[in-house]
Amino acid sequence: MNGTTAVTFTATQAGEHMSAWSALADTAIEPNPFFRPDFLLPYLKHMDNRQVAICAVRDSRDGAFMALAPVARRRLGLLAPSATVHAGEYGPLGTPLIARSADSDTLALLLDTAVAHSGTGLVALPYLRTDGPVHDMLLEIGTTSTWQMTREAISLRAGHATGPTGQEQYGLLGTRRRKEIARQLRRLSETGDTEFQSLSALNDVCAAFETFLALEARGWKGRRGTALACDPERLAFARTFIHEMARTGRVRIDQLVLEAKPVAMMIMLRDGHRVWSWKITYDEQLSRFSPGAQITRYAMRRDFEEPDLAEADSLAIPDHPMITPLWRGQVPYTTVLLTRGRFATARLSLTKADHALARGLRGLAKSTLRRVRRQTTRDDPA
């Protein structure tokens, strides 16, 4: 199609494509650090044993990649299998990598490649940002090609801009809350010398990440077994990906230090003109000083100093109780569904209903688990 060809390969076959893949990731019209080989290859090796194909479209003349996304056959809801772009808990951003010279035909070929691999006529793109050119291309595909498109309700998670808009958002925190955060920092400083730091050099980042792992493991995530250090495969993935991203200057670790000891840390990933807050942890024994809010507030100020940075994405759930009041911008995203054929409209409607039902059941299960945990804590306060 227009001088392009499709290619599909697995993580173990990625070696011969690394140069073209990295070049596309560096120049994509919308950056996505979670679709870079630095993140995706360690993740697939250590965290996901299911078959994930890396689907790409390349220029037939020079072999340059024009589009790329990891794809796997998944059940989006309870019933409908789809060719689903691989995005989830550790990288909730499903925007494919698209070259600046690509057009909607290029993206359509990527969709064709995904369904050919997965053996299903339905494509799902979860966690897709709706405020960028890739979403606009999908809208064009849905109106000018054989594909039909729909999307689920748009969700909003916290983020912030830079420049004058970012400064305005920084000032939107209520006066009472702003004074309280400042008071808590003064009280923390009375217990010992405090300092905010930002680390970006490779050796500094890798050393600080080990401190982060230990601090996270001592908190509630460690007690629940969800901390990065609690599982050997999860730990291997995280260490490898942080090292690879830091090697090219794409990791910044912000930390609040008390008496030379980090008590709050936030890991920031930089790619192109955007930055993402990947993980945060803090010393829970100092909760009365709001160390998580302190480092989040500082990270926003630090983002203002980053050259050529346009915005930050929290990656948090919508209405997150800690970060949403502090980062007052909004990042819109949704799940986009595409299919084609005589019954395309009916298939899209049924798939949306199926996915909504599955989400409702998962939400019910999570709320039940939270109630059980709260009750267990009350019954056994020790």
Q: Kindly indicate the confidence band of residue 146, based on its pLDDT and cuts at 50, 70 and 90.
A: confident
Please tell me the predicted confidence (pLDDT) of residue 381. 39
CA distances from 187 to 255, 265, 292 (A): 18, 19, 15
Tokens of 171: 């000032």
Nearest to 252 by CA among 192, 301, 194, 184: 301
Please tell me the predicted confidence (pLDDT) of residue 48. 79
Q: Say how far apart CA 278 and CA 157 lie, in whole Å.
A: 14
Bridge partners, residue 57, by sequence: 6, 67
Taking residues 318-335, what's their average pLDDT? 97
Q: Kindly indicate the confidence band of residue 259, based on its pLDDT and cuts at 50, 70 and 90.
A: very high
Please tell me the predicted confidence (pLDDT) of residue 80. 72
Q: Kindly indicate the confidence band of residue 344, based on its pLDDT and cuts at 50, 70 and 90.
A: low
Q: Say how far apart CA 5 and CA 168 lie, in whole Å.
A: 46
Answer whether residue 85 shows pLDDT above 90.
Answer: yes
Tokens of 214: 């230990």
Tokens of 375: 């009750």
Which residues does 224 contact at the CB level (< 8 Å), separation at least 6? none
pTM (2 d.p.): 0.90
pLDDT-wise least confident of 34-38, 44-48, 234-238: 44-48
Please tell me the predicted confidence (pLDDT) of residue 264. 98
Cβ atoms of residues 333 and 128 within 8 Å: yes
Q: What is the pLDDT of residues 153-205, one digit of tens each?
A: 899 999 999 999 999 999 999 999 999 999 999 999 999 999 999 999 999 99
Q: Kindly indicate the confidence band of residue 375, based on its pLDDT and cuts at 50, 70 and 90.
A: low
Q: What is the pLDDT of residues 15-32, one digit of tens each?
A: 999 999 999 999 999 999
Q: Delineate the domains of the chain, giving CATH numbers in brackets.
A: 4-151+341-373 (3.40.630.30), 158-330 (3.40.630.30)
Bridge partners, residue 157, by sequence: 331
